[in-house]
């Protein structure tokens, strides 16, 4: 590596013993300064590493004085000679630990004020402060390393896809608002009052139109925006690897994505992924793991207890089942060893997930104990335990609730119990979850697309769809899951205008509304659309897992907080009233904002 330029001949982190005797010019930040018995030491740092500057008794008074006047994060340009350190002073584990620079000229390029926190690897300050001063946080090695790894990974993805004959196409950031499952960020148009752009939730329609345009294989490292509630693995703006292909089916998509992932792991971690990845249908995943994103390293599975639950005299079970709910449980082998406090944490996980609670029992030598045990003293109770395969030493945790709520709670129970028992071990497990429902029923009885309204139904279910069916209609959609985290999703797309209109009707869009929102897509489908399919991988989530980050914020250069704010810039913020008036908008009085319940149209 060489960074020879007008300001520097080398990077701080590239010099080694073989450079001894060379005259070099370096630029960087003062990381540390030490004075010992008339000898001054300064560590100079850039993103490539650091190097020690040493001014001993042989140095001029000017050089020694210039080093003693330095403060942390001053930017320097230095000229000097690379010198081997004496053997006893070499620093093991440091790339430049065998050498030092004897400076002959030291120039302070810029000075730095007192820092809000130290630039050290192990930093103990609130995350929001780090985000406010993200440009300082970036100087820390762990942050810089992840950003550089992200750049390398993006390059590896591009190389793989270009080799696979994909074309990188940039799609618009200002587009039309369309229903894609989340709330849009809207942008008013000054030139056309009362009209709005939307920031893209994904490039979905444009990549489909690229297929109509004959581009055959499209990809983009795409920026996407969704105005939704945030959490550790979600940001208002995020990045995905977006793919679309013509004349393919599911097997082609699976094979392509598996090659992309295998090449990425090989490039970034020198790790060979086992392909093909495992596959599991959605219905089986929900039945066994109460999740459509199962962590297959976790051996705990869910058992359906609806049959025996009606025989033990527990009115809550009976009431839930009468209303069409679930009674299911998780057997934790050897879980009777858990303390009451640990079991309480499992119950708390279920409640945090929305369930009213969790009924549990331990199976001991004298029979079951715990809150559920009083219903299990009879032969029917023994049959109940047997149906769960619960034996002496086990813990059985049950959830009784509406299906959607029970599923989330059971997943939380399964995860928490596995953590307490230290059961999640082994190599990464990647799995395709397939055959998702085409529709989901909301709590108010409405039907909405499980993925998005451009997903092709399973061929055998199309007749039922056209006859008005909603429940049980399967889609040709698929998700890729890594260790219980959904990395991405995709589907075979609809390329038939008539079928696309049927889907719009199924989700409550009449012909006029569908035409208003999607006229450009339906028009395109009149001109020979090819069959096509696609996939998108959430790169923030993937990189957080690959680079051992606690949250996706750690792999994003300038992340937002959990409420969508930017501590660095202060966004979102007020704007000048003149800017708002120019857009033909009105600002609500600040006292009314909390109660505002309408939108501008």
Q: What confidence tier does 179 reach under pLDDT thresholds 50, 70, 90?
A: low
Give the mean model confidence (pLDDT) for residues 412-419. Answer: 98
Q: What pLDDT, on a 0 to 100 scale, did the predictor assign at position 237?
A: 94
Note the pLDDT of residue 232.
Answer: 65
In a 3-state reduction of DSSP, which class is residue 286?
Answer: helix
pLDDT in tens, 431-473: 999 999 988 877 777 778 777 889 999 999 999 988 888 888 8
Q: How confident is the model over 27-31, as a mean pLDDT?
A: 97
- What average pLDDT does the segment 520-541 reach? 94
Whether 492 has a pLDDT exceeding 90, the answer reads yes
Q: CA torsion sign, 351 to 352 to 355 to 358?
A: negative
What pLDDT, in 10s, does the model give residues 319-342? 999 999 999 999 999 999 999 999
By CB neighbour count within 10 A (0-12 exposed, 13-18 middle, 19+ buried), where does 437 fall? buried
**CB 42 within 8 Å of CB 70:** yes
Q: How confident is the model at residue 165 (pLDDT cuts 50, 70, 90)?
A: very high
pLDDT digits (tens, 9 = 90+) for 199-219: 999 999 999 999 999 999 999
DSSP letters, 226-238, are: -----BTTB-SEE
pLDDT recorded at residue 594: 47
For residues 508-535, average pLDDT: 89
pLDDT at 42 over 80: yes
Q: Categorize the per-residue pLDDT at 599 as very low, low, confident or very high, splitting at 50, 70 and 90.
A: very low
Locate 471 and state its tokens. 């429940």
Q: What is the pLDDT of residue 219?
A: 98
- Name the phi and psi angles at 158, rounded to 5: -60, -45
Rounded CA separation 370/238 (Å): 46
CA angle 487, 488, 489 (to 5 degrees): 150
**For residue 167, pLDDT beyond 50:** yes
Check: CB of residue 150 under 8 Å from CB of residue 193: no
pLDDT over 70 (residue 596): no
Q: Is the pLDDT of residue 571 over 90?
A: yes
Would you tell me the crossing angle of helices 141-163 and 250-269 to the nearest 10 degrees? 140
Coil, helix or strand for 367?
A: strand
CB 231 within 8 A of CB 551: no
Q: What is the pLDDT of residues 94-139, one digit of tens each?
A: 888 899 999 999 999 999 999 999 999 999 999 999 999 999 999 9
327 and 403 in contact (C-beta within 8 Å)? no
Mean pLDDT of 375-395: 96
**pTM score of the predicted model:** 0.90
Band of the pLDDT at 351, cuts 50, 70, 90?
very high
**At how many degrees (to 10) do helices 511-524 and 204-212 cross?**
50
Domains, the chain:
12-110 (2.40.50.140), 144-280+429-435+476-495+530-578 (3.30.930.10), 298-420 (3.30.1360.30)
- Residue 174 has phi, psi (to 5 degrees) of -105, 115
* Of residues 377 and 448, more confidently modeled: 377
Do 197 and 174 meet the contact criterion of CB atoms below 8 Å apart?
yes
Residue 180's pLDDT is what? 62
Decide which of 5 and 135 is more confident: 135
More confident residue, 142 or 497: 142
- pLDDT of residue 592 exceeding 80: no
pLDDT band at 181 (very low <50, low <70, confident <90, very high): low
CA distances to 1, 214, 304, 409 from 314, rounded to whole Å, are 72, 62, 16, 20
Structure tokens at 214: 């004959």
pLDDT tens digits along 288-320: 999 999 999 999 999 999 999 999 999 999 999
Report yes or no: 470 and 449 within 8 Å, Cβ to Cβ.
Answer: no
Q: Are 159 and 166 in contact (CB under 8 A)?
A: no
Has residue 589 got a pLDDT over 80?
no
Q: Pick the residue with more confidence: 522 or 246?
A: 246
Pairing of strands 167-168, 217-225: parallel
Average pLDDT, integer, range 44-63: 94
Q: Which of 566, 453, 457, 555 is nearest to 205 (CA)?
A: 453
Helices (H) and strands (E) in the chain, counts: 17, 22
Buried residues in 383-421 as b, exposed as e (16+ CB within 10 A): ebbebbebeeebbbbbbbbeeebbbbbbbbbbbbbbebb
Query: Which positions ≥6 away from 588 have C-beta within 8 Å?
Result: 596
Under the banding of pLDDT at 50, 70 and 90, the label for residue 590 is low
pLDDT, averaged across the chain: 92
């Amino acid at each position: 590596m060489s960074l020879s330029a007008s300001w520097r001949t080398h990077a701080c982190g590239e010099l080694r013993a073989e450079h001894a005797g060379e005259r070099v010019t370096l630029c960087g930040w003062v990381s540390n300064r030490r004075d010992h018995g008339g000898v001054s030491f300064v560590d100079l740092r850039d993103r490539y590493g650091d190097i020690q500057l040493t001014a001993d008794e042989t140095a001029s008074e000017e050089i020694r004085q210039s080093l003693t006047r330095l403060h942390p994060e001053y930017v320097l340009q230095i000229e000097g000679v690379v010198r081997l350190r004496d053997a006893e002073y070499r620093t093991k584990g440091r790339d430049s630990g065998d050498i030092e620079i004897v400076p002959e000229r030291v120039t302070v390029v810029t000075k730095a004020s007192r820092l809000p926190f130290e630039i050290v690897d192990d930093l103990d300050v609130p995350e929001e402060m780090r985000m406010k001063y993200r440009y300082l946080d970036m100087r820390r090695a762990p942050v810089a390393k992840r950003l550089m790894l992200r750049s390398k990974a993006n390059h590896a993805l591009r190389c793989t896809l270009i080799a696979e004959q994909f074309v990188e196409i940039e799609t618009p950031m200002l587009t039309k608002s369309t229903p894609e499952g989340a709330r849009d960020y809207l942008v008013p148009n000054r030139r056309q009052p009362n009209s709005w752009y939307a920031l893209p939730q994904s490039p979905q329609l444009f990549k489909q139109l690229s297929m109509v345009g004959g581009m055959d294989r499209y990809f983009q490292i795409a920026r996407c925006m969704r105005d939704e509630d945030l959490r550790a693995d979600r940001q208002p703006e995020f990045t995905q690897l977006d793919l679309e292909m013509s004349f393919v089916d599911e097997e082609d998509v699976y094979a392509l994505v598996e090659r992309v992932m295998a090449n990425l792991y090989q490039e970034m971690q020198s790790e060979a992924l086992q392909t093909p990845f495992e596959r599991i249908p959605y219905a089986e995943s929900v039945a066994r793991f109460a999740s459509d994103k199962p962590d297959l390293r976790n051996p705990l599975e869910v058992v359906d207890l609806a049959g025996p639950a009606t025989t033990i005299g527990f009115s809550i079970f009976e009431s839930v089942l009468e209303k069409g709910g679930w009674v299911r449980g998780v057997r934790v082998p050897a879980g009777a060893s858990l303390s009451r406090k640990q079991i309480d944490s499992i119950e708390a996980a279920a409640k945090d997930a929305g369930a009213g609670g969790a009924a549990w029992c331990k199976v001991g030598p004298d029979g079951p104990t715990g809150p559920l045990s009083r219903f299990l003293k009879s032969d029917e109770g023994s049959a109940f335990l047997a149906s769960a395969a619960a034996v002496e030493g086990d813990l059985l945790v049950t959830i009784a609730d509406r299906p959607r709520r029970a599923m989330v709670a059971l997943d939380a129970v399964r995860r928490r119990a596995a953590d307490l028992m230290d059961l999640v071990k082994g190599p990464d497990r990647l799995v395709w979850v397939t055959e998702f429902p085409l529709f989901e029923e909301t709590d108010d009885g409405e039907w909405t697309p499980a993925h998005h309204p451009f997903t092709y139904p399973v061929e055998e279910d199309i007749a039922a769809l056209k006859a008005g069916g909603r429940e049980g209609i399967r889609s040709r959609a698929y998700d890729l899951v890594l260790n219980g985290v959904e990395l991405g999703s995709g589907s075979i797309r609809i390329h038939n205008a008539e079928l696309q209109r049927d889907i719009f009707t199924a989700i409550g869009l009449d012909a006029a509304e569908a035409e208003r929102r999607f006229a450009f897509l339906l028009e395109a489908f009149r001109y020979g659309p090819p069959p096509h399919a696609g996939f998108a991988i959430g790169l923030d989530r993937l990189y957080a897992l690959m680079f051992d980050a606690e949250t996706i914020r750690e792999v994003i250069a300038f992340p937002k907080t959990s409420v969508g704010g930017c501590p660095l810039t202060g966004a979102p913020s007020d704007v000048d009233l003149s800017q708002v008036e120019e857009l033909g908008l009105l600002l609500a009085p600040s006292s009314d904002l909390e109660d505002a319940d309408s939108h501008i149209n």
